[in-house]
Amino acid sequence: MAEAKFKPGERVRVVKAYPAGHVRTPFYIRGCSGEVERICGAFANPEELAQMRDGLPPQPLYRVRFRQRDVWPDYAGPVADVVEVEIYQHWLEAA
Amino acid sequence: MKDAGKYRPLSYFQLMEVTLRELLVEKGILSEEQIDAEVENMRSRTPERGARVVAKAWVDSSFKKLLLQDGSKACESLGLDLPGLKLVVVENTPEVHNAIVCTLCSCYPRMLLGIPPDWYKSRNYRSRMVREPREVLKEFGLMIGEEIQIRIHDSTAEMRYLVLPMRPRGTEGWSEDRLAGLVTRDSMIGVALPDSPGKTA
């Protein structure tokens, strides 16, 4: 299993990339910065599984918390509102 | 309305389902009986299972602690069989309101809530719930004050989510069974609150 690079509380940014194929990183969150809420464990990479490969080594999976204002600059609700998304490690970089 | 017996061709997805099912049986990968048993199994999963978990958490603080730490393990301790479910339970408090969506498809804690409602799978809900959650919740009839943080959970990968709603006021001394009767499916998705005690008493 790949080692977990980030710890809860650390700032991370989602890679802004647009690869073809089956990807579990939603478009709206690419390029956004947030904070690691927890490490969910490590799982076979779904992008590889979709290609009938084994997806190993397992990729650490994080829940990342984003402020809505950082995701949608015109978000109409309170500043405190957040959205949390599960992101695999290879989609994250230190922010 | 009574079906007048008019011929209606199968839709694309109905046809695909029939084709796949017949092929699986024909090739001996699954039997008709196995498929029927699984369909029956899916139908037997209803939101009452989730309601039982919530009611237990309301009356038993050590269970609640475990539920928030490791949702799957806590449910197993109640004797619920949840094959493959990696459950994260998120707690509503006077400061935080949680709600669940899957923007990529329609991931849903089926083991605890059964088959998802159609609106959960709609493009409208899936795209707007992360963009303007307060508006969407208003359409469900749920007004969340500006002083309360909204926390939306997009279940994009391996985990499944369940909202632990706040126990309604006026239910002191109630049994677990009676409490479970207040816990609606929608309150465990986060688009509603549990019923109030007056409603079912």
Domains and CATH numbers, chain A: 11-94 (2.30.30.50)
Tell me the whole-structure pTM to 2 decimals: 0.90
* pLDDT for the residue B4: 65
> From chain B, which residues contact A within 8 Å (Cβ)?
86, 88, 103-104, 130-134, 146-147, 149-159
- Inter-chain residue contact B158 with A40, CB threshold 8 Å: yes
Q: Which amino acid is at B56?
A: K
- Count of Cβ atoms closer than 10 Å to residue A63 Cβ: 24
B130: chain A residues, CB-CB within 8 Å: 28, 71, 83
Is residue A55 helix, strand or coil? coil
Inform me whether the C-beta atom of residue A24 falls under 8 Å from chain B C-beta atoms.
yes
* pLDDT for the residue B176: 96
pLDDT at B201 over 50: no
Q: What is the mean pLDDT of chain B?
A: 93
Q: Which amino acid is at B107?
A: C
Average pLDDT over residues B84-111: 94
Identify the residue with better confidence: B106 or B53: B53
B154 → chain A, closest CA residue: A85
Query: A38 has which bridge partners?
Result: A63
CA–CA gap between residue B87 and residue B185 (Å, rounded): 16
What part of A 2-21 touches B (C-beta under 8 Å)? none
A25: chain B residues, CB-CB within 8 Å: 156
pLDDT at B200 over 70: no
Q: In what order do the strands lie in the sheet with A59-67?
A: A92-94, A11-14, A33-43, A59-67, A82-88, B149-154, B96-101
Report pLDDT digits (tens) over B69-93: 999 999 999 998 788 889 999 999 9
Scanning chain A, the segments in alpha helix (DSSP H) are 46-49, 68-71
- Inter-chain residue contact A46 with B151, CB threshold 8 Å: no
Is residue A30 helix, strand or coil? coil
* pLDDT for the residue A10: 98
A71 → chain B, closest CA residue: B131
A88 → chain B, closest CA residue: B157
Report pLDDT digits (tens) over B108-160: 999 899 999 999 999 999 999 999 999 999 999 999 999 999 999 999 999 99
